[in-house]
Amino acid sequence: MHFYSHPRFQDHCMGPGHPECPERLVAIEKALKTQALWPRLNHQQAKPVDRSLLRLTHTEDLLHRLESPVSDGAYAFIDPDTCMNTQTYEAILLASGAVLQAIDAVMAGDSRHAFCAVRPPGHHAERESAMGFCFVNHIALGALYARQKHGVERVAVIDFDVHHGNGTEDILANEKGVLMVSSFQQGIYPGSGTRPKGQNMVNVPLQAGAGSQAIRLMLENDWLPALQEFQPQLLLISAGFDAHREDPLAGLAWTDDDYALITDALVGLADTFCPNRIVSSLEGGYCLDALGRSVTVHIASLLAPSHKAV
């Protein structure tokens, strides 16, 4: 399985104490090594996306603002919680590039699934706006790229970050050949999702404290029926791990095992409709220890031989 990353991802920094910090990737690497999964991965270095491809998902005005120079030692603020340093723009291009490389690899049969350990994340970035720690939307770009470059007729996007993927929904709402299923904690940032923008959106708002039972019901009643009816040819995962009960930014009660449960179900689905074609890209997750453990069980499930959907 291909594992995409790049040293530049750790150079993007939004200031001391910011939860979306370079140490997140260090925690993931440490946990994968502790569980002896690191050597089982086919490590790939991300390459920057061609800027022209970002026009598939974002306006020229947004791209121009993102590539404006930032002074050394300074931060360019997008919103009170989201800012750029001198290395951010390069990291953005590499993060989107990693997702597109991963799609190329699974479509060519060169990798059985893939994980992109990237930052900054992307699922809050809308067509015209960067926000919520996100600047461009890597997974939305991946969906449109797969349709255009590889002729994939049906792409499914799955987002289990604790925060609603408003940016992905903004870009992909009513997009032909795309289905998005998501879960998120209701009533927290960004405050959207309870009324989906498109007919191709299956959103499951969860109340604070929701845990394993709610996840099973969501899979059985909402996600899996929609995905099975859609019969996807490629699965793209916005893999946020901040629904974990140890995460400081939200209030769901997921455990390490819950991420294994969800991943097992998605791999089982892929085994039926699109074998070996899952691309997962890191979104949120801000308790470093829980993040490392959760990504590890997620990757372990992707590496396992086969599954059956729950």
Kindly give, in sequence order, each residue whose CB lies less than 8 Å from that of residue 220, ignoring residues fewer than 6 positions away: 310
308 pLDDT above the threshold of 60: no
Q: Please give the mean pLDDT across all residues of the chain.
A: 97
Give me the percent of the chain exceeding a pLDDT of 70. 98
Residue-wise pLDDT tens digits, 18-63: 999 999 999 999 999 999 999 999 999 999 999 999 999 999 999 9
**Which residue is it, tokens 């997008």?**
78
Q: Is 138 a catalytic residue?
A: no
306 pLDDT above the threshold of 80: no
* Extents of the domains making up the chain: 2-303
Q: In what order do the strands lie in the sheet with 2-5?
A: 42-45, 2-5, 114-116, 278-282, 234-239, 155-159, 178-185, 201-206
pLDDT of residue 310: 45
Q: What pLDDT band is residue 305 in, cutting at 50, 70 and 90?
A: confident
The radius of gyration of the chain's CA atoms, rounded to the nearest angstrom, is 17
For 84, the enclosing helix (H) or strand (E) is strand 82-84
End-to-end Cα spacing for the chain: 23
309 pLDDT above the threshold of 60: no
Distance CA 163, CA 247 (A): 12
Residue-wise pLDDT tens digits, 76-102: 999 999 999 999 999 999 999 999 999
Contact indicator for 240, 161 with CB cutoff of 8 Å = yes
Q: Which CATH topology does 2-303 take?
A: Arginase; Chain A (3.40.800)
pLDDT of residue 78: 94
pLDDT of residue 218: 98
Residue 168 CA from chain centroid, whole number? 10
Residue-wise pLDDT tens digits, 207-244: 999 999 999 999 999 999 999 999 999 999 999 999 99
Residue of 191, 11, 2 whose CA lies nearest to 112: 2
Q: Which two tokens stand for residue 154?
A: 């049906």
C-alpha distance from residue 268 to each of 226, 277, 302 (Å) = 14, 11, 10
> Of these residues, 2, 12, 123, 124, which one is catalytic?
124
DSSP string across 47-58 = -PPPGGGGGGTS
Residue of 27, 22, 38, 30 whose CA lies nearest to 288: 27
Q: Is the pTM of this model over 0.95?
A: yes
Distance CA 253, CA 194 (A): 20
For 155, the enclosing helix (H) or strand (E) is strand 155-159
Q: How many helices (H) and strands (E) does the chain have?
A: 9, 10
pLDDT of residue 239: 99
Number of alpha carbons in the 13 Å side-chain half-sphere of residue 150: 23
Residue-wise pLDDT tens digits, 132-163: 999 999 999 999 999 999 999 999 999 999 99
